[in-house]
Chains A and B, each alone.
Chain A
Amino acid sequence: NAGVMQNPRHLVRRRGQEARLRCSPMKGHSHVYWYRQLPEEGLKFMVYLQKENIIDESGMPKERFSAEFPKEGPSILRIQQVVRGDSAAYFCASSSIAGGFNEQFFGPGTRLTVL
């Protein structure tokens, strides 16, 4: 049973470019969460999606950041016009609908470096 998959694992972008991060949840999971982790810090919630719906985007910056989870294909976290402060590890997690049990399974993360 494949776990949560993220790609690319490492991404280097120059300031002003776009970054696209992909996440394929575990099989059977319909809930996807994105978190950002700065070096030596904890994980900050960004956005929670179900298929074709954004449920909670309260942790995501209003500008330059967007997320989607289409009916077919992986969830995408898109960062436009990246700046150096966007350099971080971005983790995706998924969970199943399991009556109040909210264990989240994390992917290996995408390490974004903005030059």
Chain B
Amino acid sequence: GQQVMQIPQYQHVQEGEDFTTYCNSSTTLSNIQWYKQRPGGHPVFLIQLVKSGEVKKQKRLTFQFGEAKKNSSLHITATQTTDVGTYFCAAVRDTGRRALTFGSGTRLQVQP
């Protein structure tokens, strides 16, 4: 079945440093979504990318979808302690069925 690989598994940064997490698939994805889960919380939708080469920004967060639609990245500029949490990418398993396959997540820890 479709698998989505995510790296790194864990990242510890100093406040103010940048952070990037990567998501890769062996198959072409119809779209990709990003979620954030705070410790002890539930996943919260951040964004969806659909088009090849698409780039979207949300304040300090930049999301990219690769030209071949097989990879994606989330970049955070100048991290803050409020960015702490686990970031998951997720891809629709089958456009008609809408179930999501989640990456394993990248846990971000920000040292003040």
The residue of chain B having its C-beta at the shortest distance from the C-beta of A102 within the complex is B98
Report the 6 A-B pairs with minimum CB-CB distance, sorted nearest first: A106-B42, A42-B104, A43-B102, A48-B99, A42-B102, A106-B43
Q: Is A25 an interface residue (CB 8 A)?
A: no
Q: Contact residue range for chain B?
A: 20 to 34
Number of chain A residues close to chain B: CB under 8 A: 25
Residues on A facing B (Cβ under 8 Å): 31, 33, 35, 41-45, 48, 55-56, 59, 91, 93, 95, 100-109
Judged by DSSP, the binding face of A is: strand
Q: Say yes or no: A42-B88 contact (C-beta < 8 A), given A102-B48, A106-B43.
A: yes
Question: CB-defined interface of B36-49 with A at 8 Å, one 1/0 digit per residue?
Answer: 00000111110010
CB–CB B33/A106 < 8 A: no
Q: Which residues of B contact A100 (CB under 8 A)?
A: 31, 95
Q: Whose C-beta in chain A lies nearest to the C-beta of B43?
A: A106
User: Is there contact, CB below 8 Å, between A102 and B42?
Assistant: no
Would A103 and B48 count as touching, CB distance under 8 A? yes
